[in-house]
């Protein structure tokens, strides 16, 4: 098993990564949690595939469980669903000394963590992320949230789990589009901080080699995010580096009302197009754009800017919730594996678009 320790100002916990860890999860949870009640929050896809395996292992270790199943997909990340989960947890007579277990992709992790952070002013929770995006990104860093009709992740907080358990084997059942979606974020980690990871992704040949390397890849990504989060828990400085490709990506996703591109696809377009422009401006080393295009295509992601009028994109970027009043921070590469944050006036974003 590979383990990463997360050390934050108020809290310490570990991320454990191992193929097949789900089969002995009861034993693992027993090492960090002595009470017996566990409320599982999951979605119907994950429940159908892995619910029994999870419950069997927890029951074998004498845990008393209740499973609350939500509909899969982003629509479930709402206050309405949160209310249903609160009700389910109260029916189970959950107390602050019990445990919530978020078992699913980023949607389940975000809403499960949000509910755990708010019900009874905070119930401890554990994350078992099951999608690649959740295993390398959303389960690390403590951001929990739900969406509002006005926008994504508008209600939330920072609330860290007691532990994260990652089983890379679960990714074998993930729909390919979601696998590539997560790989866009893996590519991002390589671009901003880890040339070796980038090169490794370039070398991998075929699905089996990818799955064979998955434990290592997840460990690399989590450890990059861990380092950044430890230095900037509240997303006010270095953590913005994780936004590489996202300024444009978010604007594209939003423009198409989250229907045309997955998050990872939009981020891939963002990474390529921002780098193309910054290479032309002499900020990024020559050849980086070509490499990014190659890796994006290798993992079945798009790179071409869709046909959107420039004013709409600029408007969407200016409205991004990470902006300050007059400024916005963009992330650029010096070279693959080395990135920096550049604060620019909102009126100058035009210069950085192809
Ligand atoms: N908190 C953070 O820091 C953070 C970071 C990045 C993204 N996010 C959030 O994460 C969410 C997206 O996460 P996601 O892409 O995991 O979406 P998701 O949770 O909707 O999962 C994607 C799909 O895969 C299915 N699935 C999950 N695991 C599976 C498995 N092992 N086998 C088969 N199917 C499986 C799910 O049922 C779902 O249909 C967004 O809401 C985003 O805002 C949060």
How many angstroms separate the alpha carbon of residue 182 from the centre of ligand 1? Answer: 9
**In a shared domain, residues 166 and 191:** no
Reported as a single tens digit per residue, the pLDDT across 29-48 is: 999 999 999 999 999 999 99
Question: Which residue has a Cα nearest atom 42 of ligand 1?
Answer: 106
Confidence of residue 250 (pLDDT cuts 50, 70, 90): very high
Q: Are 246 and 152 in contact (CB under 8 A)?
A: no
Q: Is 114 in the pocket of ligand 1 (CB under 6 A)?
A: no
Whole-number Å distance between alpha carbons of 305 and 78: 30
Whole-number Å distance between alpha carbons of 300 and 102: 29
**In a shared domain, residues 166 and 185:** no
**In a shared domain, residues 192 and 152:** no
Q: Is 77 in the pocket of ligand 1 (CB under 6 A)?
A: yes
Q: Does 235 score more than 90 pLDDT?
A: no
Q: Is 22 in the pocket of ligand 1 (CB under 6 A)?
A: no
Among 23-27, 251-255, 277-281, 289-293, which is the least confidently predicted range? 251-255
Q: Does 266 score more than 80 pLDDT?
A: yes
How many angstroms separate the alpha carbon of residue 12 from the centre of ligand 1? Answer: 25
Whole-number Å distance between alpha carbons of 1 and 166: 10
pTM more than 0.85: yes
Q: Does 166 score more than 80 pLDDT?
A: yes
**In a shared domain, residues 85 and 215:** no
**In a shared domain, residues 63 and 107:** yes
Q: Is 156 in the pocket of ligand 1 (CB under 6 A)?
A: no
Task: Please give the pLDDT value at position 333.
Answer: 98
Task: Please give the pLDDT value at position 92.
Answer: 98
**In a shared domain, residues 15 and 161:** yes
Q: Does 321 score more than 80 pLDDT?
A: no
Whole-number Å distance between alpha carbons of 105 and 279: 35
**In a shared domain, residues 185 and 151:** no
Task: Please give the pLDDT value at position 354.
Answer: 83
Domain termination site, one of 139, 172, 205: 172
Mean pLDDT in residue range 209-232: 96
Q: How many Cβ atoms sit within 10 Å of the Cβ of residue 215?
A: 18
Confidence of residue 180 (pLDDT cuts 50, 70, 90): very high
Task: Please give the pLDDT value at position 350.
Answer: 85
**In a shared domain, residues 166 and 231:** no
In the chain, count H helices and then E strands: 12, 11
Q: How many Cβ atoms sit within 10 Å of the Cβ of residue 302?
A: 18
Whole-number Å distance between alpha carbons of 22 and 243: 31
**In a shared domain, residues 73 and 99:** yes
CATH of the domain at 333: 1.20.1090.10
Domain termination site, one of 142, 172, 202: 172
**In a shared domain, residues 209 and 149:** no
Which of 43, 71, 106, 129 to probe ligand 1 with, by most ligand atoms within 8 A of CB? 106
Question: Which residue has a Cα nearest atom 39 of ligand 1?
Answer: 72
Question: Which residue has a Cα nearest atom 21 of ligand 1?
Answer: 105
Domain termination site, one of 150, 172, 194: 172
Question: Which residue has a Cα nearest atom 41 of ligand 1?
Answer: 107
Tokens of 79: 């206050």
Q: Does 316 score more than 90 pLDDT?
A: no
Task: Please give the pLDDT value at position 319.
Answer: 80
**In a shared domain, residues 218 and 272:** yes
Question: If DSSP codes are grouped into helix, strand and coil, which group holds residue 182?
Answer: helix
Confidence of residue 151 (pLDDT cuts 50, 70, 90): confident
Return mean pLDDT, the chain: 95
Count up the domains in the chain and report the number.
Answer: 2
- Which residue segment(s) compose the domain that 251 sits in? 176-352
Q: Is 170 in the pocket of ligand 1 (CB under 6 A)?
A: yes
Q: Does 103 score more than 80 pLDDT?
A: yes
**In a shared domain, residues 161 and 213:** no
Task: Please give the pLDDT value at position 157.
Answer: 95
């Amino acid at each position: 098993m590979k383990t990463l320790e997360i050390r934050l100002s108020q809290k310490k916990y570990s991320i454990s990564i191992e193929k097949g860890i789900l089969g002995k999860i009861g034993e693992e949870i027993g090492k960090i949690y002595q009470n017996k009640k566990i409320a599982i929050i999951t979605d119907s896809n994950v429940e159908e595939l892995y619910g029994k395996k999870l419950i069997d292992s927890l029951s074998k270790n004498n845990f008393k469980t209740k499973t609350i199943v939500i509909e899969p997909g982003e629509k479930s990340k709402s206050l309405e669903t949160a209310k249903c989960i609160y009700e389910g947890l109260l029916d189970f007579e959950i107390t602050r000394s019990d445990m919530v277990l978020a078992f699913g992709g980023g949607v389940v992790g975000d809403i499960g963590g949000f509910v755990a952070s708010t019900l009874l002013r905070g119930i401890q929770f554990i994350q078992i992320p099951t999608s690649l995006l959740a295993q390398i990104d959303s389960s690390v860093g403590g951001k929990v949230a739900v969406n509002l009709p006005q926008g994504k992740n508008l209600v939330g907080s920072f609330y860290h789990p007691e532990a994260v358990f990652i089983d890379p084997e679960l990714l074998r059942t993930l729909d390919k589009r979601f696998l590539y979606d997560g790989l866009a974020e893996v590519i991002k980690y390589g671009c901003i901080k880890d040339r070796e990871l980038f090169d490794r992704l370039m070398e991998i040949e075929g699905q089996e080699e990818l799955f064979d390397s998955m434990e290592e890849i997840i460990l690399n990504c989590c450890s990059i995010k861990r380092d950044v989060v430890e230095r900037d828990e509240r997303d006010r400085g270095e953590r913005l580096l994780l936004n590489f490709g996202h300024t444009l990506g978010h604007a594209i996703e939003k423009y198409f009302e989250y229907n045309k591109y997955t998050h990872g696809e939009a981020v891939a377009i963002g990474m390529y197009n921002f780098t193309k422009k910054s290479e032309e401006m002499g900020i990024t080393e020559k050849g980086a754009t070509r490499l990014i295009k190659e890796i994006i295509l290798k993992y079945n992601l798009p790179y071409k800017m869709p046909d959107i009028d420039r004013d709409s994109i600029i408007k969407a970027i200016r409205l991004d919730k990470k902006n300050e009043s007059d400024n916005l921070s963009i992330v650029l590469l010096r070279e693959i594996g080395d990135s920096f944050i550049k604060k620019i006036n909102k009126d100058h974003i035009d210069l950085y678009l192809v």
